[in-house]
Amino acid sequence: MPSHAVLLRGINVGGNKRIAMADLRALLTRLGHTDVRTHLQSGNAVLTAPPVAPEELAGRIEEAISAEFGMGIRCLVRTREEMRAVVHGHPLGDVADNGSRMMALFLSADPDPALMTAHDPVALDPGRTRIGERVIYQWCPDGVLKAPDVTGFVTRHWKVAVTGRNWNTVTALAALLEG
């Protein structure tokens, strides 16, 4: 069965939308997934699931979280192959020397090409931002809080959900998926 990374948007940040990772693992297991593991406290999990489109899997998890915890939490899912492609496609490896300041901003869907052309997030931070396949790479050498808000820009203008993970988390999830 295929392995997936589950990325929950905006949980356990600043005391909002709290979900214990043990509760998340139990929920994902009750949904029929196996090899469920969580990483950190910020809504990262890996699991094995029956063959299903990642978007459908994300929708099922969102519905289950809403029913179980009463919260509307956006979920993005990436396959093992997609996570591998994100890691191997890292275009800023020659300058990004601190994994906690290198971000991968995962997109919920392919953006509309016209919106991408009209609203280019690379223009916010040209030397430090690159667009990949349903991911935006952003190098934040002075820290994420001091970097341009690419996530907010993309959410507003491209009309897709975005959830970011630092490079340390991305590579840890990819390694967990590889087993």
| The model's pTM | 0.94
The arithmetic mean of pLDDT across residues 30-38, rounded, is 95
d(CA 166, CA 101): 6
What rounded mean pLDDT belongs to the chain? 94
Of all residues in the chain, what percent carry a pLDDT higher than 70? 97
**Radius of gyration of the CA atoms of the chain, in A:** 16
Determine how β-strand 102-107 pairs with β-strand 129-131: unpaired
- pLDDT at position 15, please? 67
d(CA 124, CA 128): 9
The span from the first CA to the last CA of the chain, in angstroms, equals: 13
Split at pLDDT 50, 70, 90, the class of 11 is confident
Q: Using one digit for the tens of pLDDT, what is the confidence trace for 136-158?
A: 999 999 999 999 999 999 999 99
Q: What is the set of domains in the chain, with CATH numbers?
A: 3-79 (3.30.70.1280), 82-178 (3.30.70)
**Residue that the structure tokens 């020659």 belong to:** 94
Q: Using one digit for the tens of pLDDT, what is the confidence trace for 82-133?
A: 999 999 999 999 999 999 999 999 999 999 999 999 999 999 999 999 999 9
